[in-house]
Amino acid sequence: MSYFLSDIEKEKYLRDGFILRRDQFSDTELVNYRNSLEKTVLKAQSVAGSGKKYFLDNKKFIDIDFLTLQYEPQPNEKYLKVIEPAHSLNSELEELIFDERLTDPIKSILSTDSLSLWTDKLNLKRPMVGSGFGWHQDSPYWIHYNEDVDSLPNVYVCLDKADKENGCFRVIKGSHKKGCLPGTCDNSQLGGFYTDKNHFDLEDCIDIEANAGSLIFFNPHIVHGSSPNESTQERRAYIVTYQHKDKPSLKSGKVLNI
């Protein structure tokens, strides 16, 4: 069975900058993937003490070789927020990276038969403590490391049911057509990574509410973010970014062809 995009889906991706495929994984698969995620979190916590700790805008980060751990802001700094690249801590995640439900649509987007991995990360929003992600694009960051930033499509795997209450993924529909947009200028250390709100229209915001097991494919230029998790439910996600074959990954520099 193949999972390539239909012509309608391709048109929607080009027009809107994203597409949603609902309920792609079974309950049993999701239990296994959540277990893999939590194993990865435990491994990250076990190696964190050996890394280099630093703070940006009072937010804690730890670098261990090419692995980066990002934590929730105070007073919840003991909670991990982002692990990248996640598969470097747990090879079980490669099962998802190679899954055709992820890779076939990406091959359709890039018009190619072969891929390699650019990066992968776990985004965690623990109940009642998970903070949001401000409006941003991926491309302005990646453009410093990749000459072909237009060809870095993402797929967001919903590992839990996501809605507005627990901080679902949201996008500015059509914003990818503007390319790399200016960052904010607020004198903060991370401000430049957040998109200047004068360059997109919040009326084009779409909250993508979806069941666990759904997949969101999105353009590297689309403005996206999310609100805090104000619920008692988990909101965990695994995001994989692909590129054309034989190209090195973002952080490790290794080539993982798919």
Could you report the per-residue pLDDT of 135-169, keeping only the tens digit for each? Answer: 999 999 999 999 999 999 999 999 999 999 999 99
Q: Which tokens go with 51?
A: 């890394």
In a domain, residue 128? The reply is yes
In a domain, residue 224? The reply is yes
Secondary structure class of 69 (helix, strand, coil): strand
In a domain, residue 256? The reply is no
CA triplet 38, 42, 44: central angle to 5 degrees?
Answer: 110
The torsion angles phi and psi of 158, rounded to 5 degrees, stand at: -80, 110
pLDDT at 188: 76
Backbone φ/ψ region at 211: left (φ over 0), alpha (ψ -120 to 50), beta: beta
In a domain, residue 257? The reply is no
The number of domains in the chain is: 1
pLDDT at 1: 84
Question: Which range marks the domain in which residue 185 is found?
Answer: 7-244
In a domain, residue 50? The reply is yes
In a domain, residue 146? The reply is yes
- Residue that has been written with the tokens 């990749």 in this structure: 146
Within the chain, which residues score under 70 in pLDDT? Answer: none
DSSP 8-state code for residue 76: -
In a domain, residue 2? The reply is no
Q: Are 194 and 138 in contact (CB under 8 A)?
A: no
Measure the CA–CA gap between 67 and 65, rounded to whole angstroms.
6
User: Which residue type is seen at 114?
Assistant: S
Measure the CA–CA gap between 147 and 139, rounded to whole angstroms.
11
In a domain, residue 251? The reply is no
Q: What is the CATH number of the domain that holds 193?
A: 2.60.120.620
